[in-house]
């Protein structure tokens, strides 16, 4: 892999940033909600706002990318391992994780070469013009709506577990949505990263409690560890839909590339982005592999999703108690990614986009409210944890984390022919990422929809907008 921190890329990025800063001098107050009309005051607000949104270092970026994906990804993997078997599960986790690091490298290279790209929608414009901008923008928002909905669903499951099922689940999912809304109010990723340290400790402790508790339970059971029903290979009578839902859940765990353009746009030294990607990718692969393998080895085929449900009533409540911060903080980061794109687009030529005036804050909070309500509706409409993650993965993560970065290399980064000697390795790697993404998009979407229909028609799943006990 080439060194991403190239002087040419950094110089081009800094040049683009200066051009963007110069644009703020020409910014006009074109929004009826802004109370500021003095030209000098407008320039001062723009300068302060621009500085506020360029404070992110590579360490905080690593924290943000980790917590954006690691919560729901880690909680869904043990059941995926139970479906696919230990060996395929571990193999896919490590392989897909490494490919995600590679595609994130490509995304970062695009950002360095085209510093004006502030979101995946802008990358779509580079590839397909205005049509690409609209399509990628819509896909970005829909993906993050489903992810935030997944966090609202997980939050309701956690609160139900803590409460013992005495309150209707709809109430708890609404409470989860309110918490997600409050945590999404800070608009800067550098501010969110501070909460990310709490987030990381939260999921680490929750997973640790689950692994230790299930390990002790397996050891103390009749027959000990040897009696646990786990297999190195896929379970018997495995259907295509079940297999691809499991694969899609693993793919979902490595969805951090979706917010990378937005994250890098706040970095004060964007050339250092690859340090955060290496740190984030390595930590995620390690946590996912250990969580999936150990929980499956200790619990066996009966492992549930989210995995914390498998630790027994008391321990499960304790684990969910520690997991609450990661469930809500991680979800709020996805809201921020989506709304930075929407808000920035709505107020592109107004100081409102810096969210440092009364009207700017008002516009931001209204968007957070609307976005969270829609995500909550999605969570109640598809109240099946693994299938909701799988559908988001198949439809969107397959593109943002796999096949689209590959296309960007061929269209935006490649120098010379794809079959030139110096490009053969990159071409092969990008083709592999492209194939993985396209297969997941097609087969994964079909499998997930078929599984949702099956579960809802047979009564195996909860009906939308109804009270449930888990």
Q: Check if the beta carbon of residue 65 is closer than 8 Å to that of residue 260.
A: yes
Q: Which residues pair with 56 in a beta bridge?
A: 267
Choose among 413, 432, 425: nearest CA to 105.
Answer: 413
Kindly give the confidence (pLDDT) of every residue in the chain, 470 residues in length, as a single tens digit, with 9 standing for 90 and above. 444 444 445 455 555 554 444 444 444 444 434 444 456 665 555 555 555 555 677 887 788 777 766 766 677 789 899 999 999 999 999 999 999 999 999 999 999 999 999 899 999 999 999 999 999 999 999 888 888 888 888 888 888 888 877 788 888 889 999 999 999 998 877 677 777 788 878 888 988 998 999 999 899 888 888 889 999 999 888 888 888 888 888 887 887 788 889 888 888 888 889 998 998 899 889 989 999 999 999 999 988 877 777 878 888 889 889 988 888 988 888 899 899 899 989 988 887 878 878 888 999 999 999 999 999 988 887 666 556 667 777 888 889 999 999 999 999 999 989 989 899 999 999 999 999 999 999 988 888 788 777 777 776 566 676 776 65
Query: Tokens standing for 82?
Result: 């139970």
DSSP designation for 235: P
pTM, full prediction? 0.81
- Ramachandran class of 129: left when φ > 0, alpha when ψ lies in -120 to 50, beta otherwise: left
What contacts 24, CB < 8 A, 6 or more positions away?
Answer: 43, 46, 47, 50
Q: Check if the beta carbon of residue 115 is closer than 8 Å to that of residue 12.
A: yes
Alpha-carbon span 319 to 296, nearest angstrom: 17
Phi, psi of 267 (to 5 degrees): -75, 140
Alpha-carbon span 241 to 233, nearest angstrom: 17
In our burial notation (b when 16+ CB lie closer than 10 A, e otherwise), range 414-423 reads eeeeeeeeeb
Domains observed in the chain: 7-457 (1.20.1740.10)
The long-range contacts involving 30-33, CB below 8 angstroms and separated by at least 24 positions, are: 30/349, 30/350, 31/347, 31/350, 31/352, 31/359, 33/352, 33/359, 33/362, 33/363
Alpha-carbon span 364 to 328, nearest angstrom: 19
């Amino acid at each position: 892999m080439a060194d991403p921190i190239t002087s040419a890329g950094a110089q081009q990025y800094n040049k683009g940033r200066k051009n963007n800063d110069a644009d703020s001098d020409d910014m006009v107050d074109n929004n009826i909600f802004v109370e500021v009309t003095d030209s000098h005051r407008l320039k001062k607000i723009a300068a302060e706002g621009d500085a506020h949104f360029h404070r992110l270092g590579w360490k905080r970026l690593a924290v943000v990318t980790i917590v954006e994906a690691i919560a729901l990804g880690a909680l869904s993997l043990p059941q995926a391992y139970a479906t696919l078997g230990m060996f395929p599960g571990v193999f896919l986790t490590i392989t897909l994780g490494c490919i995600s690091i590679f595609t994130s490298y490509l995304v970062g290279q695009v950002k360095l070469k085209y510093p004006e790209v502030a979101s995946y929608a802008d990358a779509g414009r580079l590839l397909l013009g205005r049509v690409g901008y609209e399509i990628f923008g819509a896909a970005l928002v829909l993906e993050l709506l489903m992810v935030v909905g997944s966090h609202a669903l997980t939050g309701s499951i956690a609160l139900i577990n803590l409460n013992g099922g005495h309150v209707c689940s709809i109430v708890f999912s609404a409470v989860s949505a309110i918490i997600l809304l409050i945590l999404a109010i800070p608009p800067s990723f550098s501010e969110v990263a501070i909460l990310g340290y709490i987030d990381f400790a939260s999921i680490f402790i929750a997973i640790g409690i689950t692994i230790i508790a299930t390990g002790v339970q397996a050891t103390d059971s009749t027959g000990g560890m040897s009696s646990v029903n786990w297999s190195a290979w896929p379970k018997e009578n495995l259907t295509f839909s079940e297999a691809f839902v499991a694969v899609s859940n693993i793919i979902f765990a490595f969805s951090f590339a979706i917010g990378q353009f937005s994250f890098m746009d706040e970095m004060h030294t964007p050339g250092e982005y690859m340090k955060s990607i290496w740190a984030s990718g390595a930590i995620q692969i390690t946590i996912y592999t250990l969580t999936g393998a150990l929980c499956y080895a200790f619990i066996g085929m009966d492992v549930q999703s989210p995995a914390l449900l498998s630790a027994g009533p008391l321990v499960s409540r304790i684990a969910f108690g520690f997991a609450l911060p990661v469930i809500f903080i991680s979800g709020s980061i996805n809201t921020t990614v989506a709304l930075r794109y929407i808000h920035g687009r709505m107020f592109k030529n107004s100081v409102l986009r810096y969210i440092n005036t009364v009207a700017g804050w008002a516009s931001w909070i209204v968007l957070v409210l609307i976005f969270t309500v829609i995500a909550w509706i999605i969570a109640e409409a598809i109240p099946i944890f693994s299938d909701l993650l799988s559908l988001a993965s198949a439809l969107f993560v397959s593109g943002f984390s796999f096949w689209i970065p590959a296309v960007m290399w061929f269209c935006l980064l490649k120098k010379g022919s794809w079959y030139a000697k110096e490009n053969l390795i990159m071409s092969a790697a990008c083709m592999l990422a492209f194939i993985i993404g396209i297969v997941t998009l097609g087969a994964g979407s079909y499998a997930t929809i078929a599984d949702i229909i099956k579960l809802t028609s047979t009564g195996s799943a909860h009906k939308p907008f109804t009270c449930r006990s888990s």
